Structure 1
Amino acid sequence: MKKYIMLFIAFICFTNINAQTTTEKLKSEKLNETRDIQLYIPEGYSKDKVYPVIVVLDAHYLFESVVSNARYYSYWDEMPECIVVGVNQYKSEDRAKDCAYNDASGLPEKKSAQFFEFIGMELVSYVEKNYNTANFKMIVGHDLTANFANYYLFKEVPLFDAYINLSPYFAPKMEGRIATRLEEFENKKFYYLATSDEDTRKEAKRIRGFNETLKELKNENIFYYYDDFTEANHNSLAVQAIPRAMSKIFTIYRPISVKEYKEKIVTLKTSPYLYLMDKYKTIEDLFGFEKRVTVNDFMAIYSAVRKKENSSEDLELLAKLGKKEYPDTALFHFFMGEYYEKIGKPKKALRMYQNGFSMSPIDFITKDLMLDKADKIKQDFGW
C-alpha cells in the first residue's frame, strides 16, 4: 500500500511540474531556423512582481533538474521565484555546431556566433517581452555548453550575472581569459565550477588547475564557488552540482541561518540593524525588487540586539521596520515596549504592551506575553 501511495505522490508532483512548463517553437532570424525551447513560469506568477531569469543550455536533459530545484528553494524562500527558459539541443551534431569555436582563437565561429546572438538577442528578449523579468540572470551549461556560456562574460555589459559551469570542456586560452575578465568587474558576478573523481580525465585536470587560479582572485565583486564530487561521473555530477550551485549563489537571499548568526552577526562590532538593512539592500540591488523582511530575520536581529550594551537605538529602528513590514501584528508594540523600558520610560512601555495585546500574535510575541510584560511593569512600579 505504501508503495502505491508514494507512486501517487510522485505522479502528482510530476504532473504539477508539467502543468507549469511548456514546450514552444521559437523562430530565429539569427539562426534562420526554428528552435524548440522549454519555458517554466512560477505557479504564483503575478504581473505585480518581477522574476529573475535562468537560461538552461542542454535543456533536453538539464531543464527539469533546474526547474525542480528552483521550485524547491523558492518554496522555502531560499531563492526568489524564477522564470526558467531552456534551449533543447537533442542532436549531437546540432549541439556541436551551436557551441563550435575556432581552434586557433578559441572564439565562436559560424553557427556558434549566430547561436550566441540567438540566446542574447532573441531567446532572452522573448522572455522579457512576454513576462515581468528582474535584472538578475543566470546561465547553466554542461561540458561544451558550459564553455559556451562563458563567452557572455566578455561582452562589455555581460548578459548574465551568474554562471553555472558543469564540467566545462574549455576552448583554447579560455581559462586565462575568464580569470582576467573576472578581475575586471566592478559589480557583483557569481561563478560556479564543478568536476568529479570520475569526470573525463583530461578535462578534470584542466578544471582543477583552473580552480587553483580562481582561488587567487582578488576582486571582492566576484563570488566564486567550486565543487569536486567524489562519487559522480561526467554526467551524474550535474544533478548534484545544480542544487549546490543554486544554494551557494542565492545565499544572500536566504533567511538568516544559525551559522550566519553565529559567525557574522553576533561578532559584529557595528549595528545588527544596519547588517539587516545591508542584507536586504543587497538583495534589492541584485535581483531588482524589494524583498519583505522575514520574521526569521527580525527575530535573529532582535536576539543580536539584546546582546549589545547600547542597543536602544537599534530596538527603536527595528520596531519601526516591524510596523512597516507587519503592521497588523504586535511586532511594533513589543519592540517599542522594550525600547521604552531601556530608556527609562515605563509608562510608555506599559501603553505599548497594552495596545499590542489587541494585535495579531507573531512568532513568540503572543497576547499572553504582552499581558505578562504589562503586568510586570505594574508590579515593579506598584500601579
Structure 2
Amino acid sequence: MTKKLLSLWLVMLPVIASAQTIYETISSEKLGQTREIKIQLPRNYEANTEKSYPVLVVLDGDYLFEPVAGITDYYSYWEDMPEMIVVGVNQAGHRESDGFYDEQRYLPADTGADFFEFLGMELLQKIDEKYRTAPFRMIVGHDFTSNFINYYLLKPEPIFQGYINLSPDLAPEMADRITKVLSSSETKKWYYMATGSDDIPQLKTKIMAFDNQLKNINNKLVEYKFDNFEGATHYTLVGKAIPSAIDEMFKVFRPISRRDYEEVLLQTTVSGYDYLVEKYETINELFGIEKKIRLNDFMAVYNAIEKTQRWDEYKDLSKLAEDHYPNTMLATYFEARYEEETGNPKKAMKTYKKAYGQEKIAFLTVDFMLDKAEQIKKDFGY
C-alpha cells in the first residue's frame, strides 16, 4: 500500500506544481485579529467566467491544505470530482482556542464560538463575494478540528453538506448528537470518517464506537463511509483518507464506470436514457453544476442499447445528443439507428445522409455515415 501511495504522489507532483495557491490575510471582527488563509482556484477559473464552483474548507490549513488541494486538483483534472475552490485556514498557534468548548454543554464557547462564527459568517461570506461559488460546500478537519466541524451539523440549516472527519477527537455527547441529526436529516448529507490500526488508542476507541452507531442509520439522504486503514498512524491515515472520502462523496459525478455499465445499463429493466438524464440532474441538484453530458457517457448508453436492443431509447437519446452536441453527427446517428431498427430503412438511409456537412465526433465520420446509407440502399434495392 505504501508503494501505491508513493506512486500516486509521484503522479500528482506535476499536477500540484501547476496549481496556483493564493495567500490572503483576513481581518476578522469576530476573532478580533487577522487570519491567514490559502486559496486554490480551479485551473481554468479565469477563462470560465460563466462557471461557478463548490467550496471546500480545510481546517488546519497550515499542514492539511496542501494534501487536500493537491488531491482535489488531481481528481478534478480527470473529472472524478467537480472542480472546487479550496480554502485552507491556518490555525498554527490557535488550534485549541479555535476549537474550545465548554465543559457543561460541550458546545463551542468563548474563542471557540468566535471561530465558529468567523467561518460561517465572515470567511464564507468573503469567499462568496470575491469568487464565483456554487451552493455545495464541504469541510475537512483532523482530530481536534475534526470534532469542531461537526458543530455545523447541529444547526437547523447546516452551511456544509459534506464532512470529512480524519481521526476525530470527539467531545462528550458528540457521537449521540451527530447520530441523531443524521438519522433525521431531511436534506442530502455526506459524512466520512477514518481511523487507522495504529491511530491514537483513546481516539480510536471512541471512533469505533461512533462508527457502530452511524452504520445503523437508516436514512437514504445520508451517504456514510468509514475507513480503518491497516498500518496507518494518526498522521499517515490522512494521505489514504482524503482520496477515499472524495471517491465516496463524488461517485455520482464520475463518468459511467465499467461496473455501472455491466450492473445497471445492461439490465433490461433499466432505461439507459433515464439513467443518463437522472445522473446529470442529480449532479446539478447536489452540486449546483450545469454539467454537459460527457461523450463517453453517451457512448456507454449507446453500447448498452446495442446490447439490450432497446431501440426505442434511441429516439430520446437523439434529442438529448442534439442539446449537448449540436451540429455534430451524434444525434443524427442515434436517429438513424432508431429508424433502421424500428422498420423504416428508407428513412434511416436519408437520415444517415444528413451527416454530410455536420461535424465528426467519436467514431462518426462522413464516410462512415454515407457507407451506412449505401449499405441500406444495397440491402433493400433503393
- TM-score normalised according to structure 2 size: 0.93
Tell me the alpha carbon deviations over residues 254-273 of structure 1, each in whole angstroms, 9 at most, x when there is no partner. Answer: 11000111222222513211
1:354 alignment partner in structure 2: 353
**CA RMSD of the aligned region, Å?**
1.7
2:203 alignment partner in structure 1: 203
Distance change (3 Å), C-alpha of 1:9 and 1:283:
closer
2:332 alignment partner in structure 1: 333
Please say if residues 199 and 233 of structure 2, whose CA atoms lie closer than 8 Å, have aligned partners that are also in contact.
yes
Q: Does 1:76 align with 2:87?
A: no
1:5 alignment partner in structure 2: none
**Identity across matched positions, percent:** 45
Distance change (3 Å), C-alpha of 1:252 and 1:379:
same
* Cα distance in 2 for residues equivalent to 1:11 and 1:229: 24
Letter in 1 for 2:340: E
Give the 5 Å matches for 1:305-344: 305-309=305-309, 311-344=310-343
* Cα distance in 2 for residues equivalent to 1:99 and 1:10: 32
Cα drift, residue 295 of structure 1:
0.7
* Cα distance in 2 for residues equivalent to 1:53 and 1:225: 21
1:66 alignment partner in structure 2: 68
Three-state SS of the structure 2 residue aligned to 1:231 is strand
Distance change (3 Å), C-alpha of 1:9 and 1:228:
closer
Please say if residues 50 and 132 of structure 1, whose CA atoms lie closer than 8 Å, have aligned partners that are also in contact.
yes
Distance change (3 Å), C-alpha of 1:244 and 1:268:
farther
Tell me the alpha carbon deviations over residues 15-62 of structure 1, each in whole angstroms, 9 at most, x when there is no partner. Answer: 423xx2111110001111101111111121133011000000000111
* Cα distance in 2 for residues equivalent to 1:338 and 1:34: 63
Please say if residues 104 and 172 of structure 1, whose CA atoms lie closer than 8 Å, have aligned partners that are also in contact.
no
Please say if residues 16 and 70 of structure 2, whose CA atoms lie closer than 8 Å, have aligned partners that are also in contact.
no
1:179 alignment partner in structure 2: 179
Give the 5 Å matches for 1:109-188: 109-188=109-188
Letter in 1 for 2:76: S
Q: Which moved more, 1:173-182 or 1:71-80?
A: 71-80
1:52 to 54, 66, 78: 54
* Cα distance in 2 for residues equivalent to 1:120 and 1:245: 23
Please say if residues 266 and 308 of structure 2, whose CA atoms lie closer than 8 Å, have aligned partners that are also in contact.
no
Cα drift, residue 106 of structure 1:
1.6
Tell me the alpha carbon deviations over residues 111-160 of structure 1, each in whole angstroms, 9 at most, x when there is no partner. Answer: 00110000000111110001111110000000000000000001111010
Tell me the alpha carbon deviations over residues 74-117 of structure 1, each in whole angstroms, 9 at most, x when there is no partner. Answer: 111111110011110112xx200100112232211110011000
Following superposition, which runs of at least 4 residues in structure 1 exceed 3 angstroms of deviation?
8-15
Aligned residues: 371
1:301 alignment partner in structure 2: 301
* Cα distance in 2 for residues equivalent to 1:160 and 1:10: 27
Letter in 2 for 1:207: I
Please say if residues 55 and 133 of structure 2, whose CA atoms lie closer than 8 Å, have aligned partners that are also in contact.
yes
Letter in 2 for 1:158: P
Q: Which moved more, 1:163-172 or 1:208-217?
A: 208-217
1:377 alignment partner in structure 2: 376
Distance change (3 Å), C-alpha of 1:11 and 1:320:
closer
Three-state SS of the structure 2 residue aligned to 1:191 is strand
Letter in 2 for 1:359: Q
Please say if residues 75 and 81 of structure 2, whose CA atoms lie closer than 8 Å, have aligned partners that are also in contact.
yes
1:16 alignment partner in structure 2: 18
* Cα distance in 1 for residues equivalent to 2:14 and 2:267: 46
Three-state SS of the structure 2 residue aligned to 1:31 is coil
